[in-house]
């Protein structure tokens, strides 16, 4: 599990980081052009790339996505002039909200394992434990034909961030997003910049320091709906006006654009979570409301071990209250997004900490299934 810092040291670090940045974190790009761009990739006859390579990058950048975001150093937040660059691979004890690809390579955590997260080929190498995309929607559509274990990347057609089709300006489909980056509550979500974390079409409320500091009322807020859509592949499903995107803007529908069979209502008796939104289910449901009765009614204080999504409208600020009868289960209730220290990219040690009848605060299942411990 994540190493928890004492409140005091967290506060000191939060203050230090604000001074370091000299501005508000996550407020769009603020610094000098030269920090990030090069006009000719040449100064005094030498390369302007951060790694001194001769090859220029698109958008006149001095490095690639990974050169800025996966520096592999000791800090989760790295300053670049007046801007703060959130890191997806680093060795600091605190991880940002999506997790840390360093768990896959073993740079951090209990040892290298491909099963700990999404393998981004150019960063972690290919996933050797999974041969095909798990939960891809049925072969009659295009399971595994587009995104698969051998081409998964950060952004663009075979990735998660930006426009997920090839014809956008940058190959990564993210052109314009950095300078126009919105913060706080993002509920329009019709372009990368005004979508949650440049995930085109996803609605959410962005925590201003990517959850570097976190507490009951200091976290991202995720959007959810009250029932999943039907398994399928039409314009009312994953193919919207901005390419592949979640039709109603939920984070779980977003995961389901690739892992559709783990989320949707199935047409047959073996598909999706089952044909209807009620128990018994065939797969653990997401985008369904926590019942306001029974064991679920006890989950009322927001837990960072098992976050929920908000149905209806997103709150204006992060909220520490969970409301059974209104809030919903999401994929991120149990999973990280990039990588975690546990198999299947889970938020906790499901194999060792989840035993029925044995109360264990490290098991996130008990956050909702409050009568099973």
Interactions with ligand HEC, residue window 46-85 (CB under 6 A): 59, 61, 63, 65, 68-69, 80-81, 83-85
Please give the structure tokens belonging to residue 118. 């999404």
Binding to ligand HEC in span 161-180, by CB under 6 A: 161, 170, 172, 174-179
- Provide, rounded to whole angstroms, the least separation between the CB of residue 6 and ligand HEC: 26
Binding to ligand HEC in span 129-148, by CB under 6 A: 129-130, 133-135, 147-148
Q: How far apart are CA 140 and CA 232, in angstroms?
A: 10
Give the CB-side neighbour count of residue 22, counting CA atoms within 13 A: 8
Please give the structure tokens belonging to residue 207. 């925590």
33 near ligand HEC, judged by CB under 6 A: yes
Q: Which of 5, 14, 20, 29 binds ligand HEC (CB under 6 A)?
A: 29
Binding to ligand HEC in span 181-200, by CB under 6 A: 181, 197-198
344 near ligand HEC, judged by CB under 6 A: yes
By C-beta, is 7 or 22 nearer to ligand HEC? 22
Q: Which range binds ligand HEC by CB under 6 A, 10-18, 158-166, 215-223, 233-241?
A: 158-166
Site string for ligand HEC, 317-336 (x = CB under 6 A): ------------x-x-xxx-
Please give the structure tokens belonging to residue 353. 């900490």
Burial 154-188 (b: 16+ CB within 10 A, else e): bbbbbbbbbbbeeebebebbbbebbeebbebbbee
Residue 90: which of 348, 345, 362, 338 has the closest Cα? 338
Residue 231: which of 294, 140, 309, 158 has the closest Cα? 140
- Four-CA torsion 111, 115, 116, 122, nearest 10 degrees: 90
Q: How far apart are CA 149 and CA 196, in angstroms?
A: 25
Answer for the pair 209, 76: CB distance below 8 angstroms, yes or no: no
Q: Which range binds ligand HEC by CB under 6 A, 8-16, 24-32, 218-226, 230-238?
A: 24-32
What are the φ and ψ backbone dihedral angles of 275, each rounded to 5 degrees? -75, -20
- Provide, rounded to whole angstroms, the least separation between the CB of residue 70 and ligand HEC: 10
Residue 347: which of 324, 365, 322 has the closest Cα? 365
211 near ligand HEC, judged by CB under 6 A: no
Binding to ligand HEC in span 245-304, by CB under 6 A: 252, 254-259, 262-263, 279-281, 284-286, 288, 290-291, 296
Q: How far apart are CA 34 and CA 279, in angstroms?
A: 57
Three-point CA angle 173, 177, 180, nearest 5°: 160
- Provide, rounded to whole angstroms, the least separation between the CB of residue 367 and ligand HEC: 5
206 near ligand HEC, judged by CB under 6 A: yes
Q: Which of 1, 10, 35, 320 binds ligand HEC (CB under 6 A)?
A: 35
Q: Which range binds ligand HEC by CB under 6 A, 11-19, 159-167, 218-226, 313-321?
A: 159-167
- Provide, rounded to whole angstroms, the least separation between the CB of residue 14 and ligand HEC: 16
100 near ligand HEC, judged by CB under 6 A: no
């Amino acid at each position: 599990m994540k190493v928890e810092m004492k409140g005091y040291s967290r506060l000191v670090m939060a203050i230090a980081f604000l001074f370091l940045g000299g501005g508000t974190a996550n407020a769009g790009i603020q610094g000098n052009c030269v920090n990030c761009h090069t006009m000719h990739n040449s100064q005094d006859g030498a390369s302007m790339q951060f790694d001194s390579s001769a090859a220029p990058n698109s958008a006149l950048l001095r490095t690639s996505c990974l050169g800025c975001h996966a520096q592999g150093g000791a800090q989760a937040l790295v300053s670049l002039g007046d801007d703060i660059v959130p890191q997806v691979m680093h060795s600091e004890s605190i991880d940002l909200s999506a997790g840390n690809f360093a768990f896959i390579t073993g740079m951090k955590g209990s040892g290298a394992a491909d099963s700990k997260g999404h393998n981004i080929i150019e960063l972690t190498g290919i996933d050797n434990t999974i041969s095909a995309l798990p939960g891809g929607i049925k072969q009659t559509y295009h399971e595994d034909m587009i995104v698969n274990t051998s081409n998964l990347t950060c952004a663009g057609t075979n990735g998660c961030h930006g426009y997920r089709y090839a014809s956008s300006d940058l190959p990564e489909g993210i052109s314009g997003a950095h300078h126009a980056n919105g913060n706080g509550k993002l509920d329009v979500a019709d372009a990368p910049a005004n979508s949650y974390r440049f995930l085109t079409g996803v609605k959410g409320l962005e925590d201003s320091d990517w959850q570097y500091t976190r507490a009951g009322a200091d976290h991202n807020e995720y959007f959810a709906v009250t029932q999943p859509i039907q398994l399928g592949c039409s314009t009312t499903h994953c193919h919207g006006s901005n390419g592949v995107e979640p039709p109603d803007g939920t984070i779980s529908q977003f995961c389901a654009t690739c892992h559709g069979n783990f989320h949707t209502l199935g047409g047959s008796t073996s598909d999706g979570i089952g044909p209807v939104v009620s128990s018994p289910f065939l797969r653990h449901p997401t985008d369904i409301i926590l019942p306001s009765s029974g064991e679920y009614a006890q989950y009322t204080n927001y837990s960072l071990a098992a976050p929920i999504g908000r149905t209806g409208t997103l709150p204006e600020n992060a909220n520490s209250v969970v409301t059974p009868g209104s809030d919903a289960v999401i994929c991120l209730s149990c999973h990280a997004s990039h990588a975690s220290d546990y198999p299947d990219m889970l938020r906790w040690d499901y194999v060792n900490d989840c035993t029925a009848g044995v109360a264990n605060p490290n098991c996130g299942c008990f956050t909702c299934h409050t009568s099973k411990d």
